[in-house]
Structure formats: structure tokens, C-alpha cells
Copies of this chain bind each other. A is one copy, B any other.
Amino acid sequence: MPKKVLHEFKVESLQILDEAGRVDRALWPGLDEKEIKGFYEAMVLIRTFDEKALNLQREGRLGTYASVQGQEATQVGSAAALRPSDWIFPAFREPGVSILRGLPMRMIYQYWSGDERGSAIPEDQHDFPIAIPVGTHIPHAVGAAWAAKFKGDPVAVATFFGDGATSKGDFHEGLNFAGVFRLPIVFICQNNHWAISVPLSRQTASATLAQKAIAYGFEGIQVDGNDVFAVYTAVKNSLEKARRGEGPTLIECFTYRLSDHTTADDASRYRKAEEVAGWRKKDPIVRLRAFLEREYGWSEAEERATRQQAQERVAAAVHEFESVPPADPEAMFDTLFATLPPDLLRQKERLRKRLQDEKEKG
């Protein structure tokens, strides 16, 4: 056959909770009231944590901080679908996922205050710390998924990254390995439409990010990233598929970064207020609250209690953060190698002397 269609592909999108807070029953993932309210509490907690981070930064108590506002649904939906035994590999805009996985909020503040101890993930958590160089953690996630498969562990891996990350070679090489070796991994792209000031249209000419999976021979899907039920459903299905040995999935969460890129950024330089306002109307928290009101008669009192509780937890975390003893400069040598070689011991000695001198000078 001289000219023929060899293959056909399609990319689907998923939305369960619409912008008015109504759900599509046919697609309902079977969550109960407690779980749903748990989602809401989690989203409020993340927002509260985030607002506090911005405050702390303004007060000079954090360095740079990357706000997650607007993306809470992708984080809660994903985290809820994961098992504790699964592994996650975040980028730098997933404090929500990390908090829900059990990372003390104190540590996230610590990290952004410029303290490595914020990345010393507790032993019982299979989570990688923040990865700054965009996209570079994707192959790590793939390696962990491969290792899990190698060992026969019933574990799946999720990795998070932004729309910008899809342009980097690491994205390509990572997804390609995952496809070839059919690894138990879910690639969760938080398409928040901006990579600092660079809009999605400058990142790729493809109509969706989900369709990039076609290049790697596995499935990609675009979900409404401001719909926690859609995210939850897609991530859960993909994790289960992964654990069944049926390979990877790319999930594009269609969402928006409501804040500046980081506290070092001023987004008004490059994007229109109307665009942001339009997306504010789709705020995932507002949307879920509308659902709770409609479905469970969510009251002002419940709302207040939820916010109150979030404030208290965050306040406690800030207190912990501020009670941490100062970072020890010598630590830069302590975890460089399992055993410090002689020349480095001498360098450490030199640092110790510098610290000593400083102390003496007062």
C-alpha cells in the first residue's frame, strides 16, 4: 500500500468537577465524604502554608520561595492517590505533595531559608528533595521506578515537573527510558502555563503537552489540574496501571500559577492582570468549596474551623522552624563522602580555624 495511514493517536482530556462545582457522576471515583473533606482541608493547609511562606520571605526569614498558589488541586489529587510505599520525585513547586506525604512543614521553610537540613528527608519517607535544575530529576525518578521493578517491589513512582521542563533533554531521555523498559512510573506535568516569564507557546508548538507521550509509545492524558477529582482519578489509575506492570503514563495537569514565579520575580512585567484574574475564577479551592456547599451543605463554621486548624498547624511549623539550632558550617564536609579523605580533613580543619577566629573576634 503506497500511501497509507500507519497509526492513529488521540489525546483525551478529563474533567470531573466543573468550574461551578458540579461533578460528572459517570466519572465519579468513588470518594466518600471524609475523603473529600480531607482534600479540602489539605488544599486549605497548603494555601495557608504558602501564604505564610510569602510572609516569612517578606520579613527576610526565607530566601527565595516558589509559591504554589493555584496548583493545590494537582498536589492534593496526586498525593491522595499515592501510597506511602510509592516514591516521589518533585521539582521545586510541590510543597503540597511533600506536606501530604508527611514531610514536616518546618523542613520546607528550612530549605527555602537556605539550610540543607530541609532536604534531609526523614528515613520513613520515600521522597526525593527539591530539584532545582529544571527537568533533571526526571531520569532519577525513572531510575527508581526501574529499581523497584528490578527488585519486584510493588511500588510505583511519581515525578512532578512543569511545562518548561518538557523542553529539556532530560524530559525526553527520561520518558524514553520509561517507555522502552515499561517502568512503573507516572509523569505528572503541572502545566501552569508559564516558565518564569516564558509562556507555554514559547515552550512548544504542540497543541497539548499530553501528546508528547505519543513519542514514547505510551499514554498521555490532559486533566483539568484545578479539579482535584480529575487529578486524583488520573493519577490513581496511572499508578495502578504502573503497579500492574503496564508501564508509564504522562499526565498533563492543566493549571495556572497564580503567584509570581518566585519571590524574586515580578510577574506583572510579563503577563496581563486579566489573564490572572480569569484563572483566579478557577481557583481549585473555591471550586471544591462550591462542591462541598452543594453536596454537603458545607457551612461557614466548618470553613472557619478548617482555616483555623490550618493556621494553627502552620503556626506550629513556623515555631518549629524558628526553634531549630543554627546551621553548622562544618556540615558542608560531613556528608560530602561516606569517609572524608585526608586533604578534605585538612580543609575542614581550616574552616574550623576560621570559625574559631570569628568566635574570638566576637
Binding site for B on A (CB under 8 A): 1-16, 18, 24, 26-27, 167-173, 176, 179-180, 182, 201-208, 210-212, 214-218, 222, 247
Is A18 within 8 A of B2, CB to CB? yes
Is A6 within 8 A of B2, CB to CB? no
Is B176 within 8 A of A204, CB to CB? yes
How close is A203's CB to chain B, nearest CB, in angstroms? 7
How close is A210's CB to chain B, nearest CB, in angstroms? 8
- The residues of B that contact A14 with a CB separation of less than 8 Å are 2-3
How close is A155's CB to chain B, nearest CB, in angstroms? 21
User: If A13-B3, A27-B2, A167-B173 touch, does A206 touch B211 (CB 8 Å cutoff)?
Assistant: no
Which of A173, A206, A210, A222 is the most central at the interface, judged by chain B CB atoms within 10 Å of its CB? A206
Is B222 within 8 A of A205, CB to CB? no
13 A-B interface contacts by CB (under 8 A): A3-B13, A5-B12, A6-B11, A6-B12, A7-B211, A8-B8, A9-B211, A168-B169, A176-B205, A180-B205, A204-B216, A204-B217, A205-B247
Interface of A is mostly: mixed
In the bound complex, CA of A179 to CA of B218 (Å): 22
- The residues of B that contact A180 with a CB separation of less than 8 Å are 201-205
Is B11 within 8 A of A7, CB to CB? yes
In the bound complex, CA of A243 to CA of B27 (Å): 47
Is B214 within 8 A of A214, CB to CB? yes
Is A215 within 8 A of B208, CB to CB? no
Who on chain B is nearest to A210 by CB?
B6
Which of A14, A180, A247 is the most central at the interface, judged by chain B CB atoms within 10 Å of its CB? A180
A sample of 15 more A-B contacts (CB under 8 A), given A4-B12, A180-B205, is: A3-B12, A4-B13, A6-B10, A7-B208, A7-B211, A8-B10, A8-B11, A169-B169, A171-B172, A179-B205, A180-B204, A204-B215, A205-B217, A212-B214, A214-B214
How close is A172's CB to chain B, nearest CB, in angstroms? 3
How close is A193's CB to chain B, nearest CB, in angstroms? 15
Is A9 within 8 A of B6, CB to CB? no
